[in-house]
Amino acid sequence: MTSPIDADATSAIAQLLQQLREGREPDAAEQEILRITSGLEAQLRQRAADLVAANRELESFSYSVSHDLRAPLSTIDGFSRLLEGSAAKGDAERSKHYLQRLRLGVANINELIAALLVVSRLLRAPMAVQAVDLGALAQGAFSALQAAEPERAIHLDVQPDLMAQGDPALLKQLVDHLAGNAWKFTSKKDKASVAVGRQPGTQGETVYFFKDNGAGFDMTHAEKLFGIFQRMHVSTDFPGLGAGLATVQRIVARHGGRVWAEAAPEQGATIYFTLPGA
């Protein structure tokens, strides 16, 4: 299917060719045709790169789904067999326990599917880019977290006027995930602190960051950080599916930016990202 951009370019080239046939300003027409075709070639290169990235994303997505759904399915299969045996023996108490474990396995699958749906929608949702105050979003996210756990004490430092260009709904999801991560991984600290701000990047862009003094992680495993359902800590220490930073990465990528992290075990972590504005 021809896109509106391609259709406009085709129409413009047709008019310029007609201009060349009529001998009107041939040099200008040739230069304009070269400019348009150069732009179309750039679009084709970008679409090819997008296709490669989408295929890579699909491959990673498929592996994660098959890997992470296998564990709860194995749990359901195992406990259903045990339930069958205990029911045959008339052991009501043990049967009740197995039934609870089965329900837990089903609940885990439902959580995984819900997380997958959220991530997949990010790849399809239309964007409406405008000015967004990331600082205000961060304040709102941490206020909600504090209201849910009023006993928690945390020092929050948010730089003023953290303006960025992006889709408001997607950037709210991004900030909510980063705030939630910082809140979760500082939960075992007596004096928890989180900083949200920006700094100049090495390539002249604005770099935004969420920095905490929480559990951190070993940078030798950093390549797993933004993968769907990839966890850096065991679930008994910090609950969660491992989908938050995968969602963050996809939101940043949709805006044409990049995201990375710096951390050390028990010394906290900093998530950096750029938002050129897609």
Q: What is the mean pLDDT of the chain?
A: 78
Torsion of CA 65, 67, 73, 78, to 10 degrees: 180
Residue with tokens 């949200």, as numbered in its chain: 196
- What is the per-residue DSSP string for 168-235? HHHHHHHHHHHHHHHHHHTTT-TTEEEEEEEEE-TTSSEEEEEEE-S----GGGGGGTTSTT--SS-T
131-169: per-residue pLDDT in tens? 999 999 999 999 999 999 998 889 999 999 899 999 998
Query: DSSP letter at 267?
Result: S
**φ and ψ at 205, to 5 degrees?**
-90, 170
51-82: per-residue pLDDT in tens? 776 666 666 566 556 656 677 778 888 888 88
176-233: per-residue pLDDT in tens? 989 988 998 898 888 999 999 999 988 888 999 999 998 877 777 666 666 554 554 4
Long-range CB contacts (within 8 A, 24+) of 231-239 = 233/185, 238/184, 238/185, 238/187, 239/184
